[in-house]
Amino acid sequence: MSLVEIARYQDVYEADLAAAFLASHDIEVSVTERFQTTVDPLMQRALGIRLMGRTDQAAQARDLLARAGAGEFATDEGDDLDGPDSTVRAASRGLALFAFAAGAGFVGTSMPRRFGALQWAGLAILGAVVLLSLILWLVGVFSA
């Protein structure tokens, strides 16, 4: 049985999603160039990823992909994740500022190292700002 090109994609994951979508509609397709392009991702852009299918199902497959691209099969499921509350967001920003001032960077991926002069200065400035904020807050609380 001869195969024809149904569509061409720039990303192997997009091609896999299209193949799964077509398979859910009982259309047999295969994703070619998958192995060459996953070994060298730059080849995805150079070669493209072809979606190959049977000749007798090609028109139906192209029609389904065009309809999917137009949003016909989209559903309004919404986002099931709630955004972080303001306390979590403030704590996260504070930890990120502290890590940046301390020079921690990505601590999980780097070797332990001593702080440099710039990191100590940043840590001292951050400590001074926190201490000054605390003093001003306490003065405001007790003067009222």
101-129, pLDDT tens digit by residue?
766 555 555 555 565 666 777 788 888 99
- Helix orientation angle between 117-143 and 86-102, rounded to the nearest 10 degrees: 140
**Please, are residues 38 and 12 in contact by the beta-carbon 8 Å criterion?**
yes
Q: How far apart are CA 131 and CA 112, in angstroms?
A: 28
Q: Tokens 């896999």, residue?
A: 16
Record the pTM: 0.53
Torsion of CA 46, 49, 54, 60, to 10 degrees: -110
Higher-scoring residue by pLDDT: 103, 142: 142
**Please, are residues 9 and 15 in contact by the beta-carbon 8 Å criterion?**
yes
- What is the model's pLDDT at position 116? 63
